[in-house]
Amino acid sequence: MSFREKSDWLSFISLSLLGIYFAEIARGLLGGSHPGGPYYYFTLFWVLVVVLIVIQVITHIVLAIRAPQDAKTPVDERERLIRLRATQPAYFVLLVGAFFTIGTMHMGFTTWQFAHCILFVIWIAELLRYGMRLFYYRRAV
């Protein structure tokens, strides 16, 4: 595996950790409210963001130390094509999700729920982008 493919795997897996946050949000929305209130969600979100950043930084440093030449190589045509192809479906999901989220404003969602819908759509689009990159790497595009 190349450095960039390993990097995409690490990004995909670490970004999946935010699923914990969205599962808690869904549980709170479906079950009423969380006993901890908004402070619980605020704390959980920022703890997960810090953990995500720490995981990303540390794992990318380790990857770069283990294969310094691979990390320094410029992006080739195949990798550019993979990034381009992976961005298209992710952008489509982001666009459609944004329009559906705008529709939630007319369904009586609160500002808090609207903001979390937007965050969820962005998260899904990023997961799709990394997932499609990994798919194309494995498919040898």
pLDDT in tens, 96-113: 999 999 888 888 888 888
Instruction: Provide the pLDDT for residue 121.
Output: 95
pTM confidence score: 0.85
pLDDT digits (tens, 9 = 90+) for 15-67: 998 888 888 888 877 777 666 677 888 888 899 999 999 999 999 999 899 98
Which residue do the tokens 């935010």 mark?
A: 18
